[in-house]
Amino acid sequence: MRGLLRAETLKLVKRRLYWVMLLIFAVVTGLVAALMLVLPSVSPDAIPGLPVIEKPEAYAFGAAQILGQTWFPVVLAVVLLAGETGSTVWSFALTLESRRWRHLIAKTLVTTLAAWIANLAAIAGWALVAALAAEGEGSLPVGEWVGIGLKAGAIQFTWVALAFGATGLLRSIGPAIGVALAFSFGEGILALWRPWQGVSLSSASTRLIGDFGEFSAGLGIGFSDPMPFGQALAVVLGWALLGSVLAFVGLQLRDP
């Protein structure tokens, strides 16, 4: 497994994809930070009605914004896996190590780590801007920062697994990205439906990373009855398990 992890890491860092996506992620995060943190300080009337987010809430708000950007793990995971399954790279890899599950575990771990690092870097960047530009005083307790980091890892893992699931079943980049992103948006809307909320990935993620009411992204509608933390964690990991199973089944049952 160590060799597979090294191989996946080398493939990832030597591709332009990851670095370009990091750059895009930084630009998107920077724009949101400029809009939400810097602009209200330098020009309070520039956007009428824009709420002023003060420290320390500004830190957690930024983390929630960043973790809500599911496109990053989805696109990264789909392109990495479908780039191989759509060519002879995948079948050649199986002539070196025939156990598909080992490849899948290595890919999931390395891609999750890469997405997690991107998230942590973006959160750190946001925190720096917030520290310099946001009004108010104070910071989050260390335990809360650690919690944000761990929750970020869990959420990235889930989206990577779901993206791999879509890729394992569909094999090609376009349909897999389309299905994964459609699920991301559709599931967010479905989460407003009370019977679905108990298993909703959006509800669970929101519970983990925090609901900022009027500051929330998307529809701005909060969940009236937030699920318990343990249930939220179980739901997030349950979706990750489902994605991993779909990926395994898709890769196992179809010829490479």
Partner 1 sequence: MAIRLESVVKKYASTVALNGLGFEFPTGKLTGFLGPNGAGKTTTFRACLGLTSIDAGQIDVLGMRVGPDTRRIVKSVGAVVEEPGLHKTLNAVDNLRVAAWILGSGEDRIDDLLEFVDLAQYRDRKVEVYSKGMRQRLALALAMLGDPEVLLLDEPLDGLDPAGQVALRTRLRALVDEGRTVVVSSHDMADVEQLADHIVVIDRGRLVAEGPLGDVLGDSRRFRVAAVDLHRAIASLASAGFEVAAQGEWAVVLTDDGEAISRTLAGAGVYPTALVPERRSLESVFLGLTGSES
User: Min. distance of Cβ 100 from partner 1 in angstroms?
Assistant: 10
Q: Does the N-terminal peptide bond of residue 56 adopt cis geometry, omega within 30 degrees of 0?
A: yes
- 20, 23, 35, 96: which one binds partner 1 (CB under 8 A): 96
**Is 86 near partner 1 (CB under 8 A)?**
no
38: contact with partner 1 by CB under 8 A: no
* Distance (Å, whole) CA 251 – CA 99: 11
Angular region, 220: left φ>0, alpha ψ -120 to 50, beta rest? left
CA gap 158, 213 in Å, rounded: 24
For the range 217-221, what are the long-range contacts, defined as Cβ-Cβ under 8 Å and sequence gap of 24 or more? 217/64, 217/65, 217/68, 218/68, 218/188, 219/188, 219/189, 219/192, 221/192
Q: Which is nearer to partner 1, 194 or 254 (CB)?
A: 254
Please give the biggest Cα pair distance in the chain: 63
Question: Of 96 and 189, which has the nearer Cβ to partner 1?
Answer: 96
Please tell me whether residue 20 binds partner 1 under the rule CB under 8 A: no
User: Considering the complex, what minimum distance in angstroms separates the CB of residue 27 from partner 1?
Assistant: 23
Selected from 14, 41, 52, 101, the binder of partner 1 by CB under 8 A is: 14
Nearer to partner 1, 14 or 194 (CB): 14
11 binds partner 1 (CB under 8 A): yes
Q: What is the rounded CA–CA span in Å between residue 210 and residue 207?
A: 5
Stretch that binds partner 1, among 36-44, 95-103, 206-214, 238-246 (CB under 8 A): 95-103
Footprint of partner 1 on this chain (CB under 8 A)?
3-4, 6-7, 10-11, 14-16, 87-99, 255-256
